[in-house]
A and B are shown apart, each in its own frame.
Chain A
């Protein structure tokens, strides 16, 4: 059954673990979804509703492009806000465009239905039996661990990326690491691989001053994690010689959020009492944390029309004013030009530098 081709929209580097898991679970061919280009965004915007948030446009564009390339099984996931409802509309739009495919939705409304997932896997792979279930569970745990390791390494990279002596050394090594990660077979293999690269990353020469500028990045998850959606913002900031801290990553969303979200609300109890949908309440808690831990500035990223984040913005603004920490709000859309954002980042950086200089 080689005529079945699975495709899924990508987000950051997380297509590698997902591909790894799918490869072990089903025999169908798995397609690397085409990279996001201007054409992807144009296609997505053309067929999307008017005031939808940006992830919808990007993922729809990617899905259309992968259908054009011959995929016939699409996998999509959803989050807690209106992200959870994406898949149904996207399926309808693609069907109206005349494509023929099977649509598998893993998460609706922030919850995944195991029975539903089983049925959809059965659709793709009719011979799916108990042995396969155990096997895929085993690989699921390996994948989860892989995501955790990736996020840990990413944290380290973000801290030091701006101070590398040799250009692109972090970037190249990370590419190598992801290649190796996709080849591991066992838990132990993964661990050895991780430790090897951890050592290698620590060996990379950096030239980091002790009192460098530190910036925290918070905001909506897709815009944060997909570098195409934020125009490689992290790289840009790092190039000014700034240490970056970001909390949102897939490991946090999948495994830690349930435990940590109530803690964060409690931590910021003078500002908020209830959860506010998606990551809004977490972001408020984190803003307070960043302000109290001497970060020089905060950058808040969201896609335009992201309702939960819009609700959080006045509160975040208030916290930053109380602690006197500068904050930059960036609202990304499919047609925001790169240059405009660069100018604003530059101005923000200059302001941070002046503020730090005045303190001395």
Chain B
């Protein structure tokens, strides 16, 4: 019998959870079909099938899903509501399941994380496993192994991130959600551009989340978005050891519009705010990065 094919779009949740998903489904003996890096075709699909005011990252997500439609048996679409009180996610993360189900007609694997209603990750993965007709014991074992592998990889990434702090080059903290930074169309052009200038990049999302989440309180008391909290906390954590900060947000990101504005008013480190839309000309952004790096070099 053929293995069940599970389609995972390379956008939004992918960058947070792929290290759990991949080992989990491998343990359960399923085949994973990942969409390729974002390209022009995927972006065009995304723009065609999404609402014109949706955030750019979400448009890309829809494009990836369209790409996967005829290449897999199930689509994996989680819904992440909150990780407890004051740890909300953006409303796009809440509505993604319902939106996709209405736009496309394709069987989905879905789990819901809503700790306020006591729906945690393990319960979600059990639900997925059941939908795939696997035994309870197998699912639990797969989940445990996946979790261990995930933490191992995360620790490694955090260590690499920390090791960059001791370098003698100019250090820039990149504050953005992983689905922005690592996306081929959104953040990668900026990262590549920065690499040209011989700058060390430290990623705000690659720090210990439990530490950064607590530190976020020092910058904003009432903030209740989990992922924003983790980014902001990273700023507070290494504020003294970096030369500059670059904010990247996709247009029009809801949380970013408020949080970045507030943080930029409060911090004293030189910073640059880049907003990315589906405009293909990157020269404007390159000029801004160049002058920003010049300022940082002068400051030194």
List B contacts of A51 (CB < 8 A): 251-253, 257, 275
Tally of contact residues, B, Cβ under 8 A: 40
Query: Can you name the residue of chain B whose Cβ is closest to the Cβ of A305?
Result: B252
Pick the contact of A88 from B86, B221, B251, B253 — CB < 8 Å?
B221
- Determine if A334 is an interface residue (Cβ-Cβ < 8 Å): no
Pick the contact of A50 from B102, B265, B275 — CB < 8 Å?
B275
Min CB distance, A47 to chain B, in Å?
Answer: 10
Query: Can you name the residue of chain B whose Cβ is closest to the Cβ of A313?
Result: B51
CA distance A312 to B220 in the complex (A): 30
Which 7 pairs, one residue from A and one from B, show the smallest C-beta to C-beta distance?
Answer: A277-B91, A311-B95, A276-B95, A51-B252, A49-B261, A307-B254, A272-B98
List A contacts of B222 (CB < 8 A): 84-85, 87-88, 105, 108-109
- Residues 205-255 of B contacting A (Cβ, < 8 Å): 220-224, 251-255
List B contacts of A331 (CB < 8 A): 53
Min CB distance, A304 to chain B, in Å?
Answer: 7
Min CB distance, A154 to chain B, in Å?
Answer: 28
Min CB distance, A1 to chain B, in Å?
Answer: 27
Q: Please count the residue pairs between chain A and chain B whose beta carbons lie under 8 angstroms apart in the complex.
A: 108
| Interface residues as binary, B96-114 with A (CB distance below 8 Å gives 1, 0 otherwise) | 0111011100000000100
Pick the contact of B224 from A85, A276, A307, A311 — CB < 8 Å?
A85
Tally of contact residues, A, Cβ under 8 A: 39
Most buried by A among B98, B112, B257, B265: B98
Docked-complex contact A305 and B53, CB < 8 angstroms? yes
Docked-complex contact A308 and B95, CB < 8 angstroms? yes
- Determine if A314 is an interface residue (Cβ-Cβ < 8 Å): yes
- Determine if B115 is an interface residue (Cβ-Cβ < 8 Å): no
B interface, CB within 8 angstroms of A: 50-51, 53-55, 79, 81, 86, 88, 90-92, 94-95, 97-99, 101-103, 112, 220-224, 251-255, 257-262, 265-266, 275
Docked-complex contact A274 and B103, CB < 8 angstroms? no
Min CB distance, B62 to chain A, in Å?
Answer: 10
List A contacts of B275 (CB < 8 A): 50-51
| Interface residues as binary, A313-343 with B (CB distance below 8 Å gives 1, 0 otherwise) | 1110010000000000001000000000000
Most buried by A among B55, B90, B251, B262: B262
List B contacts of A272 (CB < 8 A): 98, 102
Docked-complex contact B97 and A273, CB < 8 angstroms? yes
List A contacts of B255 (CB < 8 A): 82, 85
Docked-complex contact A88 and B91, CB < 8 angstroms? no
List B contacts of A89 (CB < 8 A): 258, 261-262
List B contacts of A84 (CB < 8 A): 222, 224
CA distance A314 to B91 in the complex (A): 15
Docked-complex contact B91 and A311, CB < 8 angstroms? yes
Docked-complex contact B262 and A92, CB < 8 angstroms? yes
- Determine if A170 is an interface residue (Cβ-Cβ < 8 Å): no
Docked-complex contact A277 and B251, CB < 8 angstroms? no
Min CB distance, A56 to chain B, in Å?
Answer: 8
List A contacts of B221 (CB < 8 A): 88
Most buried by A among B53, B81, B101: B53
List B contacts of A276 (CB < 8 A): 91, 94-95, 98
CA distance A218 to B262 in the complex (A): 31
List A contacts of B266 (CB < 8 A): 92
CA distance A278 to B88 in the complex (A): 13
List B contacts of A88 (CB < 8 A): 220-223, 262
